[in-house]
């Protein structure tokens, strides 16, 4: 069920399906909750699945000049309150959703039972990458989301995915093209100043699943394996025939890895 819910004056659109222990799915940049369709369908059989559109994206309002990963994390805590979610959640974030996860576990530790980070990074942007994001923020406001789709799409998928799942690629492209340029610019600005969380990783005590597409060109397997190695209670799952969008490209393999982790 898609719901609209007011959180501190901002209208959020959120998929809220199923009953049971809560799992929160947090999308990547510049997407919306629809990237998690296969996970929503699978896990709503056994869990309460909550998959919001982040501030400014999809059907959620509240775009700002810049949105920090801390702000996104606090929005999610407010959303869980507004949805009357009791007890801690399994927090599953992809890429930017993972950057938000690192902030969420620090700012709202009592709200997290287990952590799943997919195709994400612990490192901050290099100065060059951060400067490029600020440039892109200005460009997208002038030229629209096509420029983002043009730059990002080639990096998101495994080489075989254009044949194996063309509909997934088309739907991601469409979501990017539908995204609000103000939200894209705001998230770029927020990501450009996100902190390096490498020193956080050894302090985490949460059961954690680190999941990565074997062809991920944005957060490559070796970097994600290093994240798993640094977290004391982490498992690493490498997803064959998948790139950065592993949960969409190989939903069965990703869902099986998540199921094994939840059962463990
Ligand atoms: C994402 O998928 O969320 C982006 O690749 C994150 C980023 O731009 O660093």
User: Model confidence over 140-149: pLDDT tens digits?
Assistant: 999 999 999 9
User: Model confidence over 218-231: pLDDT tens digits?
Assistant: 999 999 999 999 99
- Number of the ligand 1 atom closest to the C-alpha atom of 31: 3
Distance between Cα 95 and ligand 1 center (Å): 5
Distance between Cα 20 and ligand 1 center (Å): 30
Question: What mean pLDDT is predicted for residues 183-197?
Answer: 98
Cα angle 239, 244, 249; round to 5:
60
List pocket residues of ligand 1, CB cut-off 6 Å.
28-29, 95-96, 191, 218, 244
72 token code pair: 């996104």
Taking the complete model, does pTM exceed 0.95, yes or no? yes
pLDDT at 86 over 90: no
Question: What mean pLDDT is predicted for residues 124-136?
Answer: 98
- Determine the pLDDT at residue 89: 98
Q: Whose CA is nearest to atom 6 of ligand 1?
A: 96
Distance between Cα 19 and ligand 1 center (Å): 30
Asked if residues 237 and 252 have their Cβ atoms less than 8 Å apart, the reply is no
Cβ contacts of 242 within 8 Å, gap of 6 or more = 158, 161, 213, 214, 215, 216, 249, 250, 253, 254
User: Model confidence over 45-84: pLDDT tens digits?
Assistant: 999 999 999 999 999 999 999 999 999 999 999 999 999 9
- Number of the ligand 1 atom closest to the C-alpha atom of 30: 3
CA trace torsion 8, 13, 15, 20 (10° rounding):
10
Rounded distance, CA 245 to CA 169, Å? 9
Distance between Cα 80 and ligand 1 center (Å): 24
Question: What mean pLDDT is predicted for residues 147-167?
Answer: 97
- Determine the pLDDT at residue 231: 98
């Amino acid at each position: 069920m898609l719901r609209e819910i007011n959180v501190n004056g901002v209208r959020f659109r959120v998929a809220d399906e199923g009953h049971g222990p809560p799992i929160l799915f947090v999308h990547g940049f510049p997407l919306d909750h629809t990237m998690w369709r296969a996970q929503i369908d699978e896990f709503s059989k056994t869990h309460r699945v909550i998959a919001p559109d982040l501030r400014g994206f999809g059907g959620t309002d509240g775009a700002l000049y810049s949105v920090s990963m801390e702000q996104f994390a606090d929005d999610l805590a407010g959303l869980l309150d507004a949805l009357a979610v009791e007890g801690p959640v399994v927090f599953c974030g992809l890429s930017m959703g993972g950057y938000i996860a690192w902030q969420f576990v620090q700012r709202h530790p009592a709200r997290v039972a287990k952590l799943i980070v997919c195709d994400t990074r612990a490192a901050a942007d290099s100065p060059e990458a951060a400067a490029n994001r600020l440039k892109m923020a200005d460009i997208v406001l002038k030229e629209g989301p096509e420029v983002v789709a043009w730059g990002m799409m080639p990096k998101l998928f495994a080489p075989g995915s254009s044949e194996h799942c063309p509909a997934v690629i088309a739907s991601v492209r469409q979501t990017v093209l539908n995204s609000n340029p103000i939200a894209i610019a705001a998230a770029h600005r927020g990501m450009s100043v996100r902190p390096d969380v490498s020193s956080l990783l050894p302090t985490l005590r949460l059961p954690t699943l680190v999941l990565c597409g074997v062809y991920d060109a944005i957060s490559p397997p070796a970097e994600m394996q290093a994240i798993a190695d640094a977290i004391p209670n982490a498992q690493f799952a490498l997803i064959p025939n998948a790139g950065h969008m592993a949960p969409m490209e190989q939903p069965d393999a990703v869902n099986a890895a998540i199921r094994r982790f939840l059962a463990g």
